[in-house]
């Protein structure tokens, strides 16, 4: 049972604590022996940080973080006896990890680190109190701890009861109740120690649905350029966690409002185009955030968040600032913005050191997102359908969602017309797929047949012939063998006769 703090006497506080108690209590058989082992060595053990927060939110996972008075070598000895597998790759920072019964634990000696204000790497210093450890953490909702102590077993049981004591020196419980992010110390101190915490603030806005306190937002704005002290790899990792959250558009918006995006993702604030006096084009920035939100709503809940789709939704219009043109009558155009946008996407994601396959998929979706608008209602010929499916390849399901998400018009008639047109396209794809293998459109003659028919050896001319036959296949569908041979010979004669 929790020994409740004095401030925990309100119904709301007690409700959060009761939820955490229930979540930790389910792990009593696993954690009581661990707590007993530390107690037997005269050491304390605390569940700490994100797991405490998540337990109160009803979302405790399988990775548990602990802090302890024990020094690393003692932690290692205890985990060697308790765990199924133990690793100490973080032991120089006071951290030893283990797994048992499908649960992973990471236990770290109390820390009281000092920062040099230049890098985010602290001078590792071990502390003596849990309060000193908690106050150095990033946000108050992550600066709560639950002390685990094995109580005396009763006469009818050989198992010790797990006693829980709640520690909250920074008022994290209050912030959790109010869904707000604030720092244990002054935010300027916290962010100067580790600028990555500013990105973590935006990430938690996305993951938890929280807001940041006014002083945190102001510090993020004033110190945005400090983010340049952080390595690209760490920036990329935080951006991905943000993008995979429950409301990534809110996290991105915070980055833009505070100026952090100017340093890590400048193409997004650049979407805030100045509106012309005729208001002939929509707010591209607001539109992009809406598309991101709508894309997440189209995801399959069983498959989970789709990082590639979300990045494509956010980046799909980043080519518009470079392609905007004004015309007579106030009309505004963005011709070929998808081409420019795909190039900008590749450039930005390379700078962020994304894997090549992620860059290729996201940029291809950006490149293809306008293909749908090149055809009017009811004008999807067999050839057009084949090309659409072939160009999308394995990205077709994502492209379908991206194009649907890209409809943000407030005009109900226009929205309904776009939905009907896309419904019609998907019907055409399904209908043609039933007759042809659209997923693997190939020329009716392969390279070996082409060489045999034309008497060619391997070389560029074979590639040109293959490309022609592929175009013919896309345009006219499957041909019988004799017809395909005749078309190939006619093409060769016309070009080499």
Burial of 411 (C-beta count, 10 Å sphere; 0-12/13-18/19+): exposed
d(CA 303, CA 62) in angstroms, rounded, equals 19
Cα–Cα dist 267/39, whole Å? 54
Strands (DSSP E) found in 101-154:
103-109, 145-150
Instruction: Output the six-digit token pair for 177.
Output: 């109740």
Q: Residue 153, SS3?
A: coil
Q: How far apart are the first and last CA of the chain?
A: 92
Distance between CA atoms of 497 and 484, rounded to whole angstroms? 19
Residues 296 and 415 in one domain: yes
Q: Specify the DSSP class assigned to residue 324.
A: -
Domain that holds residue 186: 180-264
Structural domain ending residue among the three candidates 203, 231, 264 = 264
Domain match, 111 and 192 both? no
In terms of residues, how long is the chain? Answer: 497
Same domain, 225 and 162: no
Do 411 and 425 lie in one domain? The reply is yes
CA 362 – CA 315 distance, rounded (Å): 8
SS3 180: strand
Q: Taking Cα atoms as reference points, which of 457, 471, 468, 458 lies closest to residue 490?
A: 468
How many angstroms separate the CA atoms of 82 and 77, rounded?
9
Please indicate, yes or no, whether residues 250 and 287 belong to a single structural domain of this protein. Answer: no
Q: How far apart are CA 269 and CA 78, in angstroms?
A: 51
Return per-residue pLDDT of the chain as tens, 497 residues: 455 555 545 788 888 888 998 999 899 999 999 999 999 999 999 999 999 999 999 888 889 999 999 999 999 999 999 999 999 988 888 999 999 999 999 999 998 766 655 655 666 788 889 999 999 999 999 999 999 987 654 544 445 578 899 999 999 999 999 999 999 999 999 999 999 999 999 999 999 999 999 999 999 999 999 999 999 999 999 999 999 999 999 999 999 999 999 999 999 999 987 554 444 446 899 999 999 999 999 999 989 999 999 999 999 999 998 888 877 766 777 878 989 999 999 999 999 999 999 999 999 999 999 888 766 555 677 777 877 887 888 898 999 999 999 988 778 888 888 888 888 888 887 877 766 665 556 666 677 877 877 888 888 887 887 777 777 777 777 777 777 778 777 777 788 86
Tell me the C-alpha distance between 142 and 1, whole Å.
22
Alpha helices in 316-381 (DSSP H): 320-323, 337-351, 356-368
How far, rounded to the nearest angstrom, does the alpha carbon of residue 384 sit from its chain's CA centroid?
A: 33
Residues 101 and 206 in one domain: no
Whether residue 19 is found in the same domain as residue 90: yes
**Residue of 255, 258, 278, 250 lying closest to 268 (CA atoms):** 255
| Cα–Cα distance for residue pair 176/179, rounded to 1 Å | 5
Handedness of CA 335, 338, 344, 347 (dihedral sign): negative
Q: Among residues 400, 420, 440, which one ends one of the domains?
A: 440
Q: Look up residue 77 and give its two tokens.
A: 């000895």
The b-or-e profile of 172-185 (16+ CB within 10 A means b, else e) is: bbbbbeeebbbbbe
454 and 392 assigned to the same domain: no
The pLDDT, as a whole number, for residue 115 is 61
Q: Is residue 161 within 8 Å of residue 123, measured between CB atoms?
A: no
Domain boundary among 175, 200, 229: 175
Looking at the fold, whether 384 and 258 belong to one and the same domain comes out as: no
Kindly report the CATH number assigned to the domain that includes residue 392: 1.10.3210
Q: How far apart are CA 175 and CA 141, in angstroms?
A: 6
The per-residue pLDDT for 8 is 47
**Beta-bridge partner residues of 3:** 165
* Number of helices followed by number of strands (H, E) in the chain: 23, 12
Same domain, 104 and 14: yes
Distance, in Å, from the CA atom of 45 to the CA atom of 231, rounded to the nearest integer, reads 33
Cβ atoms of 361 and 345 closer than 8 Å: no
Question: What are 68's strand-pairing partners?
Answer: 45, 109
Give how many domains the chain has, as a whole number: 4
**Burial label, 456 (beta-carbon count in 10 A; 0-12, 13-18, 19+):** middle
User: DSSP assignment, residue 441?
Assistant: -
Q: Can you state the angle between helices 460-476 and 447-454, rounded to 10 degrees? A: 110
User: d(Cα 341, Cα 346) in Å, to the nearest integer?
Assistant: 9
Query: CATH code at 9?
Result: 3.30.460.10
Placement of tokens 């980055």 in the chain? 255
93 and 215 part of one domain: no
C-alpha distances (whole Å) from 245 to each of 203, 208, 224, 234 are 7, 8, 22, 17
pLDDT of residue 151: 65
- Are 141 and 235 in the same domain? no
Q: Tell me what pLDDT residue 275 has.
A: 55
Tokens of 197: 């915490």
Based on the number of CB atoms within 10 Å of its own CB, is 291 exposed (0-12), middle (13-18) or buried (19 or more)? buried
- Rounded Cα gap, residues 373 and 79, in angstroms: 60
């Amino acid at each position: 049972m929790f020994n409740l703090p004095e401030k925990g006497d309100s119904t709301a506080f007690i409700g959060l604590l009761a939820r955490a108690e229930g979540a930790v209590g389910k792990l009593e058989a696993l954690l009581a022996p661990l707590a007993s082992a530390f107690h037997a060595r005269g050491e304390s053990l605390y569940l700490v940080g994100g797991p405490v927060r998540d337990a109160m939110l009803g979302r405790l996972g399988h990775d548990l973080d602990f802090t302890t008075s024990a020094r690393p070598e003692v932690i290692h000895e205890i985990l060697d006896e308790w765990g199924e597998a133990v690793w100490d790759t973080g032991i120089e920072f006071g951290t030893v990890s283990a797994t048992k019964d499908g649960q992973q634990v990471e236990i770290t000696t109390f820390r009281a680190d000092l920062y040099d204000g230049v890098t985010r790497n602290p001078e590792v210093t071990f502390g003596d109190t849990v309060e000193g450890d908690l106050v150095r953490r990033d946000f108050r909702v992550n600066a709560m701890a639950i002390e685990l102590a094995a109580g005396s077993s009763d006469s009818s049981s050989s198992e010790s009861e797990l006693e829980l004591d709640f520690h909250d020196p920074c008022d994290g419980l209050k912030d959790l109740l109010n869904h707000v992010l604030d720092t244990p110390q002054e935010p300027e101190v916290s962010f100067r120690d580790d600028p990555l915490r500013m990105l973590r603030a935006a990430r938690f806005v996305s993951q938890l649905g929280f807001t940041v306190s006014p002083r945190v937002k102001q510090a993020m704005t004033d110190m945005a350029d400090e983010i340049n002290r952080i390595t690209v790899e760490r920036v990329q990792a935080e951006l991905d966690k943000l993008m995979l959250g429950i409301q990534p558009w809110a996290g991105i918006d915070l980055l833009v409002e505070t100026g952090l995006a100017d340093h890590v993702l400048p193409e997004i604030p650049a979407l805030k185009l100045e509106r012309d006096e005729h208001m002939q084009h929509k707010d591209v920035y607001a539109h992009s955030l809406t598309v991101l939100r709508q894309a997440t709503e189209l995801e399959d809940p069983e498959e989970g968040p789709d990082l590639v789709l979300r990045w494509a939704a956010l980046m799909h219009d980043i080519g518009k600032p470079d392609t905007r043109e004004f015309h007579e009558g106030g009309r505004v155009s963005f011709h070929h913005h998808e081409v420019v946008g795909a190039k900008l996407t590749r450039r930005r994601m390379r700078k962020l050191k994304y894997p090549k396959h992620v860059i290729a998929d996201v940029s291809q979706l950006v490149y293809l997102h306008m293909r749908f608008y090149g055809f009017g209602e009811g004008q999807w010929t067999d050839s057009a359908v084949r090309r659409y499916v072939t160009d999308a390849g394995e990205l077709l399901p994502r492209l379908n969602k991206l194009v649907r998400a890209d409809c943000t018009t407030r005009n109900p008639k226009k929205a309904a017309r776009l939905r009907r047109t896309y419904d019609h396209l998907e019907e055409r794809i399904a209908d043609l797929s039933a007759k042809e293998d659209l997923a693997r459109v190939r020329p009716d003659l392969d390279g070996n047949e082409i060489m045999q028919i034309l008497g060619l050896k391997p070389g560029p001319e074979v590639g040109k012939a293959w490309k022609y036959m592929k175009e013919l296949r896309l345009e006219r569908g499957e041909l019988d063998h004799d017809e395909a041979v005749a078309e190939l010979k006619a093409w060769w004669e016309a070009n080499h006769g």
